[in-house]
Amino acid sequence: SGELVLVLLLMLLIWYITLKPGETVTVEVLYVLTRSLEPFPEEISQSEPQLVYFRDSAIILSPYLIKEQTTFVKTPSSNVESFTRVEPTNRAGAEIKYGKYDNRTPYSYSPILVHFENNNAFLVVEELVREVEISHWGSLQITEHYTWPMLVHVIMAVEYQSRPSISGVSSFKQLIARLPPRVHSVYYRDGIGNISTSHLRTSNSKSELEIEPRYPLFGGWKATFVIGYGLPLEDFLFKSADGKRYLNFTFGCPLVNIVVDKFTMKVVLPEGSKEPSAIVPFPVDQHLETSYSYLDVVGRTVMVLEKKNVVPEHGIPFQVYYNFNPIFMLAEPFMLVSVFFLFFVVCVTYLHMDISIHKS
């Protein structure tokens, strides 16, 4: 739980922070919880507001004496159905204040339950496989495969179109993907092709792909789609002081405010790459695979990074290092030239063959 995570963080900080008598230190801890809101009621019609439960403790779970604490719960709207009172408790609009509480003993626990309206769409991607293919001929090709189970039932199109302001308030009508600048060759499709309207906005600092599905998306549906695009190699591939090449790319999901249950990042290295290694600023599962593409002989090494429960805060750079002999860049052109040369020799030989039948 979130409280357990916080306790572990505080205990870990004790090992690194040594205070003299009378000294104080301010520590700010940020942690993100997923699936911490419970829909209640669990099922609603598309015209009803979405209500959820939030459970926590008014007192932080700590192994130490708490001399003074105040807890604030801020809801996305001022429509609060009910909330637990642990005196002193005050509410002002969308903010509930618990405390202040003085001299609480270690491991004090005061459960609270807040029931409020939250019409934000619960955007959860079941699985995202993001593949980055490196070509030393000048580009990166990125392909993102999304498997999406949404969190309600069959949409009533007549009701939705006749009352768009209140019907489907908890659905989402568009997706926004934040992509790097200088992106090109962008496409979006699902199993039957492009079934949406998309807009690409670019600037010197970023690119935004806005996807508008043909119909608003609710929960209870399963959707799969693919986003692909190209990027200039010189913006992401560099050479280290020891001669290794390394990719500097952003981890996580480019879609805004999305949680991913299972995230897989695959970095496909050029054929002939050796000694790959990854540096990621948080724990991930790593392993190597081999993939084959056109004209490959020995296959390409793939660095696979896997992580569960990925949130927007994981969208920070990581690096993949590898050794590469430039002679391998000539392998595919040499194969193409060899094939054309062999074809030319066969054609010339055939044209000079005399296969006519002569009388003896």
Q: Which of 113, 242, 235, 239 is nearest to 179 (CA)?
A: 235
Q: Indicate if 241 and 181 belong to the same structural domain.
A: yes
Residue 241 lies in a domain: yes
Q: Indicate if 65 and 136 belong to the same structural domain.
A: no
Q: Indicate if 95 and 132 belong to the same structural domain.
A: no
Which range, 151-160, 196-205, 219-228, is most confident? 196-205
Cα–Cα distance measured from residue 147 to residue 125, given in angstroms and rounded to the nearest whole number: 6
Q: Indicate if 272 and 315 belong to the same structural domain.
A: yes
Q: Indicate if 91 and 185 belong to the same structural domain.
A: no
Q: Indicate if 148 and 269 belong to the same structural domain.
A: yes
pLDDT at 235: 93
Contacts of 87 (CB under 8 A, 6+ apart): none
Residue 138 vs residue 162, higher pLDDT: 138
Residue 354 has pLDDT above 70, yes or no: no
Q: With contact defined as beta carbons under 8 Å apart, do 334 and 291 qualify?
A: no
pLDDT at 298: 76
List, in sequence order, every residue forming a beta bridge with 72; answer none if it has no partner: 97
Residue 160 vs residue 275, higher pLDDT: 275
pTM: 0.79
Q: Indicate if 64 and 138 belong to the same structural domain.
A: no
Tally Cβ neighbours within 10 Å of residue 330.
10
Number of domains in the chain: 2
Q: What is the CATH number of the domain that holds 133?
A: 2.60.40.1730
pLDDT, tens only, 10-21? 666 665 666 677
pLDDT at 32: 86
* Residue that is last in its domain, among 69, 102, 117: 117
Q: What are 212's two structure tokens? A: 């508008």
Residue 151 has pLDDT above 60, yes or no: no
pLDDT at 90: 94
Distance from CA of residue 113 to its chain's centroid? 30
Residue 77's identity, in one-letter code, is S
For residue 138, give the DSSP letter.
T
pLDDT at 359: 60
Residue 148 has pLDDT above 80, yes or no: no
Q: What are 139's two structure tokens? A: 């580009």
Q: With contact defined as beta carbons under 8 Å apart, do 110 and 59 qualify?
A: yes
Residue 168 vs residue 91, higher pLDDT: 91
Residue 245 has pLDDT above 60, yes or no: yes
Q: What are 147's two structure tokens? A: 């498997």
Residue 21 vs residue 239, higher pLDDT: 239
Residue 309 has pLDDT above 90, yes or no: yes
Cα–Cα distance measured from residue 198 to residue 129, given in angstroms and rounded to the nearest whole number: 21
Cα–Cα distance measured from residue 53 to residue 82, given in angstroms and rounded to the nearest whole number: 10
For the four alpha carbons of 192, 193, 198 and 203, in that order, the dihedral sign comes to: positive
Contacts of 174 (CB under 8 A, 6+ apart): 210, 211, 212, 213
Q: Indicate if 243 and 106 belong to the same structural domain.
A: no
Q: Indicate if 239 and 301 belong to the same structural domain.
A: yes
Summary mean pLDDT of the chain? 82
Q: Indicate if 168 and 230 belong to the same structural domain.
A: yes
pLDDT at 293: 77
DSSP per-residue codes, 255-296: BTT-EEEEEEEEEEPPTT-EEEEEE-SS--EEEEEEE--TT-
Q: Indicate if 288 and 187 belong to the same structural domain.
A: yes
pLDDT at 154: 42
pLDDT at 202: 87
Tally Cβ neighbours within 10 Å of residue 259.
17
Q: Indicate if 101 and 161 belong to the same structural domain.
A: no
Residue 162 has pLDDT above 60, yes or no: no
Range of the structural domain that residue 190 is part of:
124-323
pLDDT at 138: 79
Residue 288 has pLDDT above 90, yes or no: yes
